[in-house]
Amino acid sequence: MKLYSYFRSSASFRVRIALQIKGLPYDYQAVHLLRGEHRDPAYASMVGDALVPALVTDEGAVLPQSMAIMEYLEELHPTPALLPATPLARARVRGLAQMVACEIHPLNNPRVLKYLTGTLGADEEAKTTWYRHWVRQGLEAFERQLVLLAAERQAAGDSPSVYCWGESPTLADCCLVPQIFNARRFEVPLAGLPLTMAAFDACMALPAFQQAQPSACPDHQI
């Protein structure tokens, strides 16, 4: 497999985590977003949305969109599992993952920030204020959801979660960790999020997350 990735792309980071958890080898293909390499005809003609990540399967199929890629990997290589066993638990994990991928991330990705400064004329301070506001608000909502799920697990007699859900990392953790990395880059306050940060810390103690982080990518200094 080939993974087209940019080291700071949180969506690419999600997929790198999933690949590491599942122990799947892949060729890393760097696509430098800030240099506009995703708009190069050779790449854009292959990937309809001209974004990263994109996964090229062993059969040559090109898969865009991180959530779809991770679900594909889960179906093809179900162990170690990124989704729990029961339909309800799977829905809980997918809901948490989508809180990051669909609610937090779209408001602070480079395209949006570039539009704020380039087209709308916002200065750097305004851009940073925008970023911190929406990321913090989203993470506070994520924390509230973790509190509700912790109470649900307790009522059901389940053990407390080590990660976002349960005792092993899931799709939710694959999404959360890159978002926290980006939040720290922009100095978003992360106090008052005990369950969220506990899940992050538990993840970062694992080799799979360490090996997928931006500083471990071949293009991190390019």
pLDDT band with cut points at 50, 70 and 90 for residue 222 = low
Helices 124-155, 110-118: crossing angle, 10 deg rounding: 150
Tell me, yes or no, if the two domains 2-80 and 87-211 fold the same way.
no
| Model confidence, pTM | 0.97
What the block records as the tokens of 30 is: 């760097």
Q: Quick one: average pLDDT of 6-29?
A: 98
Q: Which residues fall within 8 angstroms of residue 211, CB to CB, at 6 or more apart?
A: 20
Domain assignments of the chain as residue spans, ordered by start = 2-80, 87-211
Q: Quick one: average pLDDT of 52-70?
A: 97
Contacts 24+ apart (CB under 8 A), 116-122: none
Residue pLDDT, tens place only, 21-50: 999 999 999 999 989 999 999 999 999 999
Indicate the CATH number for domain 87-211. Answer: 1.20.1050.10
Q: Quick one: average pLDDT of 16-21?
A: 98
What the block records as the tokens of 196 is: 């969220």
CATH homologous superfamily of 2-80 = Glutaredoxin (3.40.30.10)
Cβ proximity of 32 and 222 under 8 Å: yes
Distances (CA, A) of 112 to 33, 105, 130, 194: 13, 10, 10, 29
Average pLDDT, the chain: 97
Residue pLDDT, tens place only, 81-100: 999 999 999 999 999 999 99
Residue pLDDT, tens place only, 136-159: 999 999 999 999 999 999 999 999
